[in-house]
Amino acid sequence: MTATGFASVILDVDSTLCGIEGIDWLADRRGPAVGAGVTALTDGAMRGEIALDGVEGKG
């Protein structure tokens, strides 16, 4: 804990301030099959084909 009371600050800047989707990048670190599955879920959710609450816990 720091003097401000926060140990860290987390911002969601995927594909806005950075050129990658962080969750896809992390999934790729688990292997090609995991990366491809998570990317498919992310892309489907961003296109509105999959409800965002339906994506969590899959992959």
Arithmetic mean of pLDDT, 1-28: 81
Query: What per-residue confidence (pLDDT) applies to 32?
Result: 96
Cβ count near 29 (within 10 Å) = 8
Q: What is the pTM of this model?
A: 0.66
Q: Is 45 exposed, middle or buried (0-12, 13-18, 19+ CB in 10 A)?
A: middle
CA distance 56 to 9: 22
Query: What per-residue confidence (pLDDT) applies to 29?
Result: 95
Give the chain's length: 59
Per-residue model confidence as pLDDT tens digits over 17-57 = 888 888 899 999 999 999 999 999 989 988 999 887 877 76
Query: What per-residue confidence (pLDDT) applies to 47?
Result: 92
Whether the per-residue pLDDT at 59 is higher than 70: the answer is no
Ramachandran assignment for 15, one of left (phi > 0), alpha (psi -120 to 50 degrees), beta (any other): left
Cβ count near 53 (within 10 Å) = 8
